[in-house]
Amino acid sequence: MIELKTPTEVQEMRPAGAFVASVLSALKEKAAVGVNLLELDELAHKMIRDAGASSCYIDYHPSFGASPFGKVLCTSVNDAVLHGLPFDYVLADGDLLSVDFAAELNGWVTDSALSTIVGTPRPEDLRVIEATEVALKAGIESAVVGNKLGDVSWAIGEVAHQYGYKVNTDFGGHGVGRTMHGDPHIPNDGRAGRGLKIKPGLVVAIEPWFLIATDEIYTDPDGWTLRSTDGSRGAHSEHTIAVTPTGPVILTDRG
């Protein structure tokens, strides 16, 4: 069931959004050649404790997960694109790192993700990151009162196709509020003019993710990390947004 938020509730979600944004900004600054993924997880863990927030991930155990996640953020490197379980890995020059983070503060959850290059970039990696960011912007701009959810999916997919990428629709955007995942599901491709009509108070995480040369993924032996079947790299961008009568508001904006 889709739960629309009141204007007061949207305002109450702003501190959670600002906190998630601050953690991602700190993680992006921390990520460098020689830094261990477990160090990034510990930094996020410390920021959660210091803020009096709660992790949405550490005890998370959906049907597709092998076990409770056990960490507080997702770190996906190179051919991993989603749900990357942090492990004892030291970032190397040229790694493409995607970080996904959700947390609860004052009873409200927000969710966001970014991709960045560690050290020396490859042009093709910069391009796929750019594509997810452009698609995220297009999806957000389509999340206006009177449009349909299919318009958001179409806008994201249209960017992917313009860049020449295939789109996997198994995992995509979702409702956010008191919990991390709720209705509606927002695929990263779709048909314009289809689906539920967008109304004020809708709060969702929009999250395009693309792989350079495929749309097929498999689950790593860790039971969580999703990797491309052909070894090609991927990127992931995400914001939590609230639909208002005057347009979408990005709650996890990093400035």
Q: Is 125 annotated as a binding residue?
A: no
CB neighbour list of residue 49: distance below 8 Å, 6 or more residues apart = none
Q: Is 61 annotated as a binding residue?
A: no
| Phi then psi dihedrals of residue 205, to 5 deg | -100, 125
Count other Cβ atoms within 10 Å, centred on residue 98. Answer: 26
Q: Is 141 annotated as a binding residue?
A: no
CA distance 78 to 41: 18
Q: Is 161 annotated as a binding residue?
A: no
What string of DSSP letters covers 1-55? ---PPPHHHHHHHHHHHHHHHHHHHHHHHH--TT-BHHHHHHHHHHHHHHHT-EE
CA distance 49 to 95: 29
Whose tokens are 């930094």? That residue is 43
- The token duo for 115 is 């991709």
Return the SS3 of 66: coil
DSSP conformation class of 166 = -
- The token duo for 142 is 């389509």
Binding residues: 83, 100, 111, 174, 181, 207, 238
Binding residues for a divalent metal cation: 100, 111, 174, 207, 238
Binding residues for substrate: 83, 181
